[in-house]
Amino acid sequence: MKPDTARLPIPSHLLIACEPFGARLSASAVCGAIARGVLARGLPEPDLCALPGPDEAGGDPRALLDELGFDRRMRSARAVILGAVKLEEATLAGSLAFEIATRARQAGVPAYAVTASNALNSFDARILDLQVILEARGAPSLTAAGEQLASLI
């Protein structure tokens, strides 16, 4: 018997997972700036997940995401917004950004990215199944990116 999908609740919130954008913008500050934009467009309070930077993460990204309860949080979200300081093919393998995009794709949760530097070509972005990649460097542009994504999600 098929489940009645019409009765399943549609998640209303977003999961925003961010790493630091250099020394001036901590992961919490990046998440907060994007969240301000999302909230300005009237979306519900997002779930914020501050991640360590690429130099701090060390170890296995899968284990770190498991510690953060990422899969549960992602599956209860309408979409994931990934904040990564740099997206480039050469450094994606084994990174938190790659692992998050992969998990979102496998779970059927749409993923969007905000980055200070996008060096991915369209093929790489398609492989990651990122719906949109926006570039933003400072807090005001991160908030603007959050507003723009809120209108797309």
136: domain CATH number is 3.40.50.10350
Classify residue 5: in a domain, yes or no.
no
Residue with tokens 């994504």: 149
Rounded to 10 deg, the angle between the 139-152 and 27-40 helix axes is 50
In whole angstroms, give the CA distance from residue 107 to residue 39.
Answer: 25
Residue with tokens 């209303």: 12
Classify residue 62: in a domain, yes or no.
yes
Classify residue 101: in a domain, yes or no.
yes
Classify residue 8: in a domain, yes or no.
no
Classify residue 107: in a domain, yes or no.
yes
**By residue range, what is the domain housing residue 33?**
25-152
| pTM of this structure | 0.89
In whole angstroms, give the CA distance from residue 71 to residue 73.
Answer: 5
Classify residue 6: in a domain, yes or no.
no
111 token code pair: 């993923």
Neighbours of 6 (CB within 10 A): 5
Give the side-chain half-sphere CA count within 13 A for 10: 5
Distances (CA, A) of 106 to 2, 74, 142: 21, 11, 27
Give pLDDT tens digits along the chain (153 positions): 444 444 444 556 899 999 999 888 999 999 999 999 999 999 999 999 999 987 776 678 899 999 999 999 999 999 999 999 999 987 777 889 999 999 999 999 999 999 999 999 988 888 889 999 999 999 999 999 999 999 998
Count of structural domains within the chain: 1
